Structure 1
Amino acid sequence: MIEFIDVEKQYPNGLTALKNINVKIEQGEYVAIIGLSGAGKSTFIRCINRMHGITEGSIYINGMDIRLLKGKGVRKLRRSIGMIFQSFNLVTRTTVLKNVLVSYVPDLPFWRKITGIFTKEQKINALTALDKVGILDKAYVRVDQLSGGQQQRVALARTLAQAPQIILADEPVASLDPVTANLVMEDFRKINKELNMTVVMNIHHVELALTYADRIIGIRSGEIVFDGNASDVNDEVLSLIYSGQEVEDTSANESTISEKNPVA
């Protein structure tokens, strides 16, 4: 579904954020991108939906080179890709249901945008999305009365309501407490498995990445230095991703991965 071919990204200030990226992500994979702050994780995620353009190479989604898209083509692409941010991006002074219904606004005729009237089908779909993330009972509650974890679930439900093929998540649990973060990560895994929806997530919490994702991509200084199953990640791999050095002998180190690298 997603393929990077010889991708490079350089910002106007001369900073090279991505170098020689070649990777393919299949339909239904749950991929966690890990690495130090500034390694290029967010840039990698945002190139997929054209929030960031690339300098060299190509990115294909379902066989289409998205670098060639313009105007309506870019908007159509973004409708098929849900994006979830750390900050939730919700309208806190209105209800949960209205926040989810916002996902339909780009496709509404002008008179519905002005009046704020949604169809019965759209309302049912929005309620169904809330049910999938376990907060249907909060549909008519104002967002500012919810906990951080519940607000992130509203953001996830809003994304589900647009029926995307891909979900991109940029540090979705960074501001949540550990218990709530696990619950939200479980929501992502449930959606990934039940709907066969591709999830690509940028995350600092190594332990959460290894627990919930199937595949780990490690990025260091803009380059992919590891790409493999979460079960194959060990101290040596983490040392390569976070310090650029290989560990010669880890047999004497009985500490867990989470103790050694709790947060990047």
Structure 2
Amino acid sequence: MIEFNQVGKTYSNGFQALKDVNLKIEQGEFVAIIGLSGAGKSTLLRTINRMHDITEGTLTVDGVNVMGLRGKALRRFRRRIGMIFQSFNLVTRTRVINNVLMSKVPDLPFFKALFGIFPKKDKLEALEALDKVGILDKAFVRADQLSGGQQQRVALARTLAQNPQIILADEPVASLDPVTAKQVMGDFLRINKEMNITILLNIHHVDLALQYAGRVVGIRAGRIVYDGPASEVTQEILDEIYEGKTEEEAVG
């Protein structure tokens, strides 16, 4: 379980990105975080794996105080949490399977990591991860020969190969066309259901959030103004989250 208790985040320039956040997320939930640009969506997501440190309150994952982790303990903790970005973060000039195997590097001895020597078990797990996202046939293709949607699937496979309990996705479909975005969201939903992996994603496409996520968290100016089932989100709630702006105005 992920639990935010009176969490705040203030950056060094004085900007308060999160204010008095109280939130509980159970294992296996699929949660979409929505809100205006600058509302605190990415900050909220990135505090979970300590990419950003909170400045107030407590944040725990499975009862562990995230801010109390240091060194090896923090690295081990982060291994349980996959992270997917809008920009895919692939090494495009190498093969797809090599990109997936990058998730195994922290577990290798230094010499093997340096020369990319992976055991058969890791290679099989990488292929299995690619199969789970439907692009096993692309395993030995260079990543720069794939479409944007296929590259995001490689990023998802790379995350799956580390056997995470939680996947954080920061605007994972923002750069994809509508058809491909739905396909990738479908991958997230299927993985969530079949593998019981907790998924939290920031998304500016409200329609996709409501269609695929089971729960929606709406943030406005660093505060949570809605937290509930996606099926219960009304236009009145969206007006509260987005200050009455249209989706195009909200993301533009």
- What TM-score, normalized by structure 2, do the two folds share? 0.97
Matched, 1:204 2:204: yes
SS in 1 for 2:33: strand
After the TM superposition, list the runs of 4 or more consecutive aligned residues in structure 1 that deviate by more than 4 angstroms.
Answer: none
In 2, the alpha carbon distance for the partners of 1:6 and 1:244 equals: 27
- Per-residue CA deviation, residues 55-105 of structure 1 (Å, 9 max, x unaligned), is 011111001111111111111111000000000000000000000000000
SS in 2 for 1:9: strand
Paired AA for residue 96 in structure 1: V
Paired AA for residue 220 in structure 2: R
Matched, 1:71 2:57: no
How far did residue 244 of structure 1 move? 6.8
Match of 2:193 in 1: 193
SS in 2 for 1:20: strand
Match of 2:134 in 1: 134
Matches within 5 A, 1:83-98: 83-98=83-98
Q: Which runs of 5+ in 2 are unaligned?
A: none
Q: Which moved more, 1:72-81 or 1:197-206?
A: 72-81
Match of 2:110 in 1: 110
- Per-residue CA deviation, residues 121-150 of structure 1 (Å, 9 max, x unaligned), is 000000000000000000000000000000
SS in 2 for 1:31: strand
TM-align CA RMSD: 1.1
Match of 2:181 in 1: 181
Paired AA for residue 116 in structure 2: G
In 2, the alpha carbon distance for the partners of 1:21 and 1:115 equals: 44
In 2, the alpha carbon distance for the partners of 1:135 and 1:35 equals: 32
Paired AA for residue 142 in structure 1: R
In 1, the alpha carbon distance for the partners of 2:114 and 2:2 equals: 36
SS in 2 for 1:52: coil
Match of 1:254 in 2: none
Matched, 1:12 2:19: no
Larger Rg: 1
Q: Which moved more, 1:69-78 or 1:144-153?
A: 69-78
How far did residue 261 of structure 1 move? 3.4
Paired AA for residue 34 in structure 1: I
Paired AA for residue 243 in structure 2: S
Matched, 1:217 2:205: no
In 1, the alpha carbon distance for the partners of 2:160 and 2:56 equals: 32
- Per-residue CA deviation, residues 1-60 of structure 1 (Å, 9 max, x unaligned), is 100000000000000000000000000000000000000000000000000000011111
Match of 1:261 in 2: 247
In 2, the alpha carbon distance for the partners of 1:155 and 1:113 equals: 19
Matches within 5 A, 1:160-179: 160-179=160-179
Match of 1:230 in 2: 230
Paired AA for residue 223 in structure 2: E
How far did residue 153 of structure 1 move? 0.1
Match of 1:248 in 2: none
- What TM-score, normalized by structure 1, do the two folds share? 0.93
Match of 1:149 in 2: 149
Paired AA for residue 199 in structure 2: V
SS in 2 for 1:8: strand
